[in-house]
């Protein structure tokens, strides 16, 4: 949609308002939805057998205290928030604080039969592993009856 407005490639001949408009267009186009999606941690969901479901999520740099897990209405919610502050002081009264905040939220719809009271989670070397037992009843085979012939 940014391509609908045609502007000259050089800044010559543009007013200061047009220059600011061009600057903001370039800034907002750099924050497209694909860059926001790439900031979410990667996640793998698998089952080695039909008795448990495993969710593995990459969470490098996060500690146990930084991550919250909740289950509500068949949805697993994983939220994480980490704040870092880097302070530098020297004898000449120069002072610099560099702060960084990282957060994410992922929601996973759980299949029927997940025992939400027995969910276990572990964080090891930047990988969060959530294990959920599943109690699925065996499928019952249903026979298809032959049609009944009606007398005319």
At 9 the three-state DSSP class reads coil
Is 32 among the domain residues? no
Burial class (CB in 10 A: 0-12, 13-18, 19+), 55: buried
Is 25 among the domain residues? no
Q: What is the mean pLDDT of residues 124-144?
A: 91
Pairing assessment for the beta strands 52-58 and 43-46 based on DSSP bridges: antiparallel
Which candidate, 88, 84, 86, places its Cα nearest to that of 103?
84
The two three-digit tokens of residue 118, written as one number: 């027995």
- Pairwise CA distance, residues 78 & 44, whole Å: 13
Is 77 among the domain residues? yes
Is 101 among the domain residues? yes
> Which CATH number characterizes residue 96's domain?
2.60.40.790
Q: What is the DSSP letter of 118?
A: G
Give residue 60's domain range: 41-133
Q: What is the mean pLDDT of residues 2-16?
A: 49
pLDDT of 12-45, one tens digit each?
445 565 666 666 666 655 555 444 444 688 899 9
Q: What is the mean pLDDT of residues 54-60?
A: 93
pLDDT of 107-133, one tens digit each?
999 988 899 999 999 999 999 999 999
Domains held by the chain: number? 1
Is 61 among the domain residues? yes
Is 139 among the domain residues? no
């Amino acid at each position: 949609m940014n391509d609908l407005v045609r502007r000259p490639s050089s800044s010559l001949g543009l007013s200061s308002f047009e220059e600011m408009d061009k600057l903001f267009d370039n800034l907002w186009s750099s924050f497209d939805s694909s860059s926001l999606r790439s900031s979410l941690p990667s996640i793998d969901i698998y089952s080695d057998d039909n008795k448990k479901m495993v969710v593995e999520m990459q969470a490098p740099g996060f500690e146990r205290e930084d991550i919250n897990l909740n289950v509500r209405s068949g949805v697993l919610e994983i939220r994480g928030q980490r704040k870092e502050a880097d302070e530098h002081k020297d004898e000449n009264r120069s002072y610099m604080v560099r702060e960084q905040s990282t957060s994410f939220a992922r929601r996973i719809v759980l299949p029927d039969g997940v025992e939400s009271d027995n969910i276990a989670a572990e964080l090891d070397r930047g990988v969060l592993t959530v294990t959920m037992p599943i109690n699925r009843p065996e499928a019952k085979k249903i026979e298809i009856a032959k049609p009944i012939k009606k007398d005319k």
